[in-house]
Structure 1
């Protein structure tokens, strides 16, 4: 009789272990494993692309950043310098985001040589300068966001990109004149072009800061 009860007990214990997955810890709610809200933008090659890479000894798959803030920075950096931190153009503009020396001094950077060798400092400079421009243009962002000027929809990210190109003052003149007072840089790139090219990125978390300085954390 005892051996029979022992066998029954063992069967019950095994059944419990199997149904619980041998786990005695606290169960986690399904929401714990949710990817909701995460930016999972990865480019995965399809069959045709995989076939093409058989002929390419150095295949390159890039992370797709979409319209995120990082995507905004990378797109602007690529337009300015093709993402080259160490470059100086023929007009003396420096680094990935092509800063003027006077602009760097304004955000607390006084050594251009060190700046060119420090990618973290360049990213911090971009953040600081963008925060300053957002403060200067805060009223214009509120007033013109979503409107059309010269056939281009105005967005916050477009305004901030144009300010990086032309300066906040010139962007303000362009917007308030309905596009009549334009600006083009030495390469012929216009405010209108930047408003269009960098439209619709998520720059909402950038805090307006009149006195922002470049700081490496």
Structure 2
């Protein structure tokens, strides 16, 4: 009996480790969150805006302003009028399908209106906070991989890969990860944007811009 146990235990451990390894394969952002065809816009042509819309670079600390400006710099170098090579839009690089979730259907208007882009970002945070509220409470403060999980890291990762994928990442303790088309993954965003205070944005079910 002891001989059988001494043989079977190492085999069982090896099987578990191999299974974990298969779960760790890169997963791409799902098609529902991706831009799969060119985004047709007539604006902007040269990324110029009225002076009244230009924002003075803020103090980049650990507040909500620091969080949004750090994420915007990572996404677009903070440029409101940019469309990247995959068709993502604006300062925070939204896909058209995500904009529709927060109530924006006119991408021309979105690109030409910095105030609307800021409101869309804030609204999407409120929406994602609601979806991820239980996971934020459960996982904040623990360590996954080489980073501490925080609310701001979770929300930044949801901006990258969607709240559903962030749930899977957290509940698998990092075994399920998602990579975007440029090779950035949930774990990277979780670490890069950890430790910001975004408590001023409250969770809101089905948050939308109603105008």
Relative to the length of structure 1, the TM-score reads 0.70
Aligned to 2:115: 120
Alignment of 1:104 onto 2:99: yes
Question: In 2, distance between residues paired with 1:106 and 1:164?
Answer: 13
Q: Whose radius of gyration is greater, 1 or 2?
A: 1
Is this contact kept in 1: 2:71–2:156, CA < 8 A? Answer: yes
Aligned to 1:190: 185
Q: Which has the higher contact order (CA 8 A, sep 6+)?
A: 2
Is this contact kept in 2: 1:136–1:168, CA < 8 A? Answer: yes
Question: In 1, distance between residues paired with 2:181 and 2:158?
Answer: 15
List per-residue Cα deviations over 1:55-106 (Å, max 9, x = no partner).
xxxxxx9653210100000000110000010001111110000001011111
Is this contact kept in 1: 2:99–2:120, CA < 8 A? Answer: yes
Relative to the length of structure 2, the TM-score reads 0.71
The correspondence for 2:175, drawn from 150, 173, 180, is: 180
List per-residue Cα deviations over 1:188-217 (Å, max 9, x = no partner).
00111101110100011211112211358x
The runs of 5 or more residues in structure 2 that have no matched partner are: 1-55
Aligned to 1:210: 205
Counting matched residue pairs gives 156
Aligned to 2:77: 82
Is this contact kept in 2: 1:83–1:96, CA < 8 A? Answer: yes
> Structure 1 residues 69, 176: closer, same or farther in 2, change over 3 A?
same
Question: In 1, distance between residues paired with 2:161 and 2:177?
Answer: 10
Question: In 2, distance between residues paired with 1:62 and 1:81?
Answer: 14
Q: CA RMSD in A?
A: 1.4
The runs of 5 or more residues in structure 1 that have no matched partner are: 1-60
